[in-house]
Structure 1
Amino acid sequence: MPTITLSHSMMRRIQEINGAIHNKNDLSDLLPKMGCPVELNDDDDIEIEVFPDRPDLLSHETMAKAVRSFQDGDTEVSPVEVSDSGVRITVEGDLEGVRPIIMGAIVRGVNTGNSASERDSFIQSLMDHQEKLHMTLGRKRSLASIGVHDLSKLKHPFRYETVSSDFSFQPLASEDVMSVSEILDSHPKGIEYSKLMDGLDAYPIILDSNNEVISLPPIINGNHTTVSEDTNDFFIDVTGFDEIACETCLLLVSLSLSELGGVVESVEVQDKDGSVKVTPNFGAKTYRVPNRLIEKILGMELSDSEIGGAIQRMGGILLESRTITHGSERAERWSDCVVGEREHVFSMPRWRSDIMHPVDIVEDIAIGIGYENLPDILSSVHIDASPLKSSNLHRRIRMSMRSVGLQEIQSLTLSNEGDQFKKTRWPIISEATVISNPITVDHTVLRQYIFPSLMNLLASNRHHELPQRVYELGEV
């Protein structure tokens, strides 16, 4: 799990801006109830663990907002007002196989601090937030990467296009002008992320109207747009391959800056086909959850007011509780809402990308109520456990493989058609099981072969010594 260190002084300043009080002693009891174990809480900092499915808790600002909701039951699901900036990003050229998705936002008037030390802490916190989002949601920048820039140094409209490896500019924190190929070969960030550019003949670039380089995503920003202690107006760009990851990154960075008094403004993205998309979109998402599911999972009956209070502590709103009068009369799944039963309609913040199913809403209700308040229920069926016949076989296989010097790996059973069939040129054994709502482009089908997983592991470990003797015993 990601571990983050939050400064009490910065948390206190954020809460004061939003009319709340920060009490460092309360956090030791409060955060574990929110699902964030506290590792250390001293006079200066608090160190906590955050589950990977809650990227909305990775910064001072977003954690401060979550704490306010949990303490006070903040009823504003989407408090961020977005106005029109008049800024446009025009997509030019073919970026489909390069880095097809781009989104943008502008945040003006951010209160970065009243002293040099406060402003320096803000910049460091902003950079830490970016990198944690890159590692989690962005999957080391492969799915999404974020650029934060000083808006006052830019002239819009902006362009998103491709350039050759000979294209040159001055990268962030560098005194020299370098070509794209030089950056990938010799710049520390270029070396670290050059594998994301493997096989490309053209490279993505974001330019302003003066042809100043804003960013070479996902590698590095241009030096011209460096954020300094004097920066109060920000331009945020997010590029990548995954729509949900990109949108969530943009929303979370914009939300962080708005928590410091910033005013969020939209950016129009005009694609090469002429279509226009406006980002960021802070509109809340709506979910329907049958009351039957809540009672079945939690093992207790809850009133509408208790459910509403619990979800408010998690930043959501119970919009409506009603009896279903039309629709399906038979539940195929636990989460199905059927005629004659009660259902609840919830509104949740759009940046909560971890909510993918009604069960996730029930989990939030459980956290809002407090796990310590759930009933203790003993199982009505007592069964003595015994090993499966297959377990003994698997144990003997593993012992045999270890004895000849092979190391076992465990990879995900989710894969994608490219790895499973296209790269290997292998046929589909039977109809592939496709995920109807995949979160990432890497996990769209249940695997039919283990071999591609082994090849991906070896490809990621080319820098290690040979031989690499690995095997996997798993399901297909």
Structure 2
Amino acid sequence: MPTISFSLSDLNKLLGKRLDKDKLEKLLPFAKAELEDVEGDDISVSFNDTNCPYLWSVEGLARLFKGVLNVSTGLYSIKVSKSGFKVVVDRKLSKIRPFISCFIAKGKKVDDYLLKQIIQLQEKLADSFGRRRKKVSIGVYPSKKIEFPVSYKAVSPSLRFVPLGCHEELSLAEILKVHPKGKEFAHILESFSEYPVLMDSKKNVLSFAPVINSELTGKLDVGDDELFFDATGTDEDSVYLVANIFAAALADRGFKIESLVMEYPSKRIVSPTLAVRRLKVNSDFVNRVVGSDFGERELKGLLERMRYGYSKGVVVIPFYRGDIMHPVDIAEDAAISFGYDNFGALSLSSYTVGKPLPEVHFIDSSRLLWVGLGYQEVLSAILSNKDLLYDKLNVSDFGTVEIENVMSHTYSCVRSWLLPVLLDVLSKNRHVDYPQRVFEEGLVSVRKGDSVVDERHLSAVSAHASASFTEIKQAVGFVLAALGVDFVVEEFEMGCFVPGRAAKIVVGKKQVGFFGEVHPSVLENFGLLVPVVGCEINLSLVLEYKSKK
């Protein structure tokens, strides 16, 4: 979980009220956070929710606490003026790292403490929310050293500049091989023939995204009073959200924010976007969800304490929040604002003895058997996307539950099987030694006609130089035999497997799964360079068969 450190006196200055350790500890649950450590004026706070990056700074906490303590309530906003500058985005970046958001912050000198706070927020957002810079990375520069306009372009690996902390020029390819940051993040760019850089109008390199800034133009120092911010990444909404969060934090510090135009080949975006969203939510819905009896006026007050806007059943979500996906999220914040301790207790209406569901023992036994075979269990998000589930696997859509009001393409549908998810895990761990053996057991949802069926599946993959059909066949056979399942294997063809090197698992005349060697074209789609074998078993169907015996 993210942990941040800051000065209590700084928090009090931003808040405009004096808090001591005890008062702070009582306020932290409003941010889903806990007091981690106190050493004099130095405070460490850990967050229990990784979905609220706007809180991962002392500025974010102060902004929330201002509402909770009624210092400043209602929809938060900042003033932004036009800088007159632009960032020109290269068309070739569309397949590499396509999105960027920039702004300028002026008017306040950076001291040593503020510099550390800026770096802390940068690292928390890029490492945690940005998935260790793969989805989003951040750069902060002294703006006065930059000659505008700035270009964001794809360039040859032979381009040379002096990276931060060095005294001699290195090519981009050399940075990935010898620089500590280059070696750490090389896996993000290893499949591309050109790399993304930011460059000013004098051809000075600002940064090699998402790896390292330039020593010449990318080093922020104590005393700088004009900052240039950039966020680059692969997810458009996340890039704009990170820029919004940083703009809010610097504005809270007293900086004046100036926007830039992101000039894409086919569109122009003013950054930071500061776009608010609206959801229809009334007191009847909130009361039904949380068991309250709020009136409209009381609900308005509760939501305004959490820095929302509210009028006549419409909630306005502040521009720095990307975690609100459904009216239930609004209801949760209303409950937090009211205080869970203030809800009255209800009498028990039924008396039962808790026990596991009948299938839990069978499922847990399955998991333990795969662990015994040397496989490591992973847990992935239940939401996915059709590109990953089907296109990369050379498989046709066999029944997908899609999200109507999708917020991100990455999470635009419910997963219908697990094998693609495990291949994606392997693709993100190509820098780790082989062999790699992982499995996952979990829920999938498949659309069948007008109905949706939820099933428990288990999938496993093994990746190494000697991975073979025999290996995965023996693993599947061992697990099913140990579970007391009678089965046969039959010939099977599927686009994700090598022809003639796959089989289906039949139990009681019904197919309950399959296994085989993953096709080379699929491995190429995931950037995998070693053979991979995998299987998927429908545990729900296996349990159904066993219950009838």
**What is the TM-score with the length of structure 1 in the denominator?**
0.87
Query: What is the one-letter code of the residue matched to 2:440?
Result: E
Please give the secondary structure, in 1, of the residue aligned with 2:323: coil
Counterpart in 2 of 1:36?
33
Q: Does 1:416 align with 2:414?
A: no
Q: CA deviation at 1:140?
A: 1.4
Please give the secondary structure, in 2, of the residue aligned with 1:449: coil
Counterpart in 2 of 1:227?
220
Compared CA separation, residues 163 and 462, structure 1 to 2 (3 A): closer
Q: Is the 8 A contact 1:299 1:375 kept in 2?
A: no
Please give the secondary structure, in 1, of the residue aligned with 2:230: strand
Query: What is the one-letter code of the residue matched to 1:82?
Result: V
Distance 1:404 1:169 in 2: 49
Q: CA deviation at 1:464?
A: 4.7
Q: Does 1:268 align with 2:236?
A: no
Distance 1:111 1:74 in 2: 26
Question: Structure 1: which 5+ residue stretches go unaligned?
Answer: 113-118, 321-343
Q: CA deviation at 1:443?
A: 2.8
Question: Structure 2: which 5+ residue stretches go unaligned?
Answer: 445-549
Corresponding residue to 1:47 among 41, 44, 47: 44
Distance 1:93 1:283 in 2: 25
Q: CA deviation at 1:3?
A: 1.5
Counterpart in 1 of 2:207?
215
Distance 1:172 1:440 in 2: 33
Q: Deviations over 1:438-465 (max 9, x none)?
A: 4544333322332223333344445555
Give aligned pairs, total. Answer: 442
Q: CA deviation at 1:235?
A: 0.9
Q: Deviations over 1:298-347 (max 9, x none)?
A: 21211233212211221122222xxxxxxxxxxxxxxxxxxxxxxx2222
Query: What is the one-letter code of the residue matched to 2:422?
Result: L
Q: Is the 8 A contact 2:126 2:133 kept in 1?
A: yes
Compared CA separation, residues 52 and 459, structure 1 to 2 (3 A): same
Bigger CA drift: 376-385 or 172-181?
Answer: 376-385
Q: Does 1:165 align with 2:157?
A: yes
Q: CA deviation at 1:77?
A: 1.8
Q: CA deviation at 1:388?
A: 2.7
Q: CA deviation at 1:220?
A: 1.4
Alignment of 1:87-106 (within 5 A): 87-106=85-104
Query: What is the one-letter code of the residue matched to 1:84?
Result: K
Distance 2:91 2:288 in 1: 53
Counterpart in 2 of 1:2?
2
Q: Is the 8 A contact 1:90 1:160 kept in 2?
A: yes
Distance 1:73 1:238 in 2: 31
Corresponding residue to 1:71 among 69, 72, 80: 69
Distance 2:168 2:208 in 1: 16
Q: Which structure shows the higher strand fraction?
A: 2
Q: Does 1:145 align with 2:113?
A: no
Query: What is the one-letter code of the residue matched to 2:253?
Result: L
Alignment of 1:215-294 (within 5 A): 215-225=207-217, 226-273=219-266, 275-294=267-286
Using CA pairs below 8 Å that are at least 6 residues apart, which structure has the higher relative contact order?
Answer: 1
Alignment of 1:371-390 (within 5 A): 371-390=340-359
Q: CA deviation at 1:9?
A: 3.5
Query: What is the one-letter code of the residue matched to 1:230?
Result: G
Q: Is the 8 A contact 1:314 1:368 kept in 2?
A: yes
Distance 1:85 1:139 in 2: 31
Q: Is the 8 A contact 2:107 2:255 kept in 1?
A: yes
Counterpart in 1 of 2:59?
61
Corresponding residue to 2:424 among 456, 472, 475: 456
Distance 1:75 1:389 in 2: 50
CA RMSD of aligned residues (A): 2.1
Alignment of 1:323-362 (within 5 A): 344-362=313-331
Please give the secondary structure, in 2, of the residue aligned with 1:426: coil
Bigger CA drift: 284-293 or 179-188?
Answer: 284-293
Q: Is the 8 A contact 1:5 1:48 kept in 2?
A: yes
Query: What is the one-letter code of the residue matched to 1:6?
Result: F
Compared CA separation, residues 93 and 397, structure 1 to 2 (3 A): closer
Bigger CA drift: 200-209 or 406-415?
Answer: 406-415
Q: CA deviation at 1:89?
A: 1.0
Counterpart in 1 of 2:467?
none
Q: CA deviation at 1:283?
A: 4.3
Q: CA deviation at 1:405?
A: 4.2
Q: Is the 8 A contact 1:145 1:218 kept in 2?
A: yes
Distance 2:180 2:68 in 1: 41
Distance 1:270 1:461 in 2: 34
Distance 2:64 2:357 in 1: 44
Counterpart in 1 of 2:479?
none
Q: Is the 8 A contact 2:31 2:55 kept in 1?
A: no
Compared CA separation, residues 423 and 372, structure 1 to 2 (3 A): same
Query: What is the one-letter code of the residue matched to 2:43?
Result: I
Q: CA deviation at 1:397?
A: 2.4
Q: Is the 8 A contact 1:3 1:47 kept in 2?
A: yes
Query: What is the one-letter code of the residue matched to 2:126?
Result: H
Q: Is the 8 A contact 2:91 2:264 kept in 1?
A: no
Q: Is the 8 A contact 1:73 1:314 kept in 2?
A: no
Q: Is the 8 A contact 2:279 2:315 kept in 1?
A: yes
Bigger CA drift: 283-292 or 161-170?
Answer: 283-292
Q: CA deviation at 1:123?
A: 0.8
Compared CA separation, residues 381 and 9, structure 1 to 2 (3 A): same
Corresponding residue to 1:304 among 276, 286, 296: 296
Query: What is the one-letter code of the residue matched to 1:235?
Result: F
Bigger CA drift: 68-77 or 290-299?
Answer: 68-77
Compared CA separation, residues 95 and 460, structure 1 to 2 (3 A): closer
Compared CA separation, residues 407 and 88, structure 1 to 2 (3 A): closer
Q: CA deviation at 1:130?
A: 0.4
Which protein has the larger Cα radius of gyration, Structure 1 or Structure 2? Answer: 2
Compared CA separation, residues 352 and 418, structure 1 to 2 (3 A): same
Distance 1:133 1:34 in 2: 17
Please give the secondary structure, in 1, of the residue aligned with 2:69: helix
Distance 1:10 1:202 in 2: 43
Counterpart in 2 of 1:177?
169
